[in-house]
Amino acid sequence: MTVSIGISRIAEGINVPETFRLADSGLYDAKRQGKNRCVLVDQSESALVT
């Protein structure tokens, strides 16, 4: 079993739907990078792999 996760946080000036969109973007980045990845996406949409 493998897991890919996209994470974003609610930040000032970013609404909830946009936060979910960022997390979804992180999820797809994690899937492209391989198995067992967690990607944190900040408000500028630059992904950080952890």
pLDDT in tens, the chain (50 residues): 899 999 998 888 888 899 999 999 999 999 999 889 999 988 765 555 55
* Total domains, the chain: 1
Segment (H or E) for 1: none
Does residue 50 fall inside a structural domain? no
Does residue 11 fall inside a structural domain? yes
pTM given for the model: 0.76
Indicate left, alpha or beta for 7 from its phi (over 0: left) and psi (-120 to 50: alpha): beta
Predicted pLDDT at 32: 93
Predicted pLDDT at 11: 81
Among residues 39, 18, 17, 19, the alpha carbon closest in space to that of 28 is found at 39
Is the torsion defined by CA of 30, 5, 25, 12 positive or negative? negative
The helix/strand/coil state of 27 is helix
Predicted pLDDT at 13: 83
Predicted pLDDT at 49: 53
Does residue 49 fall inside a structural domain? no
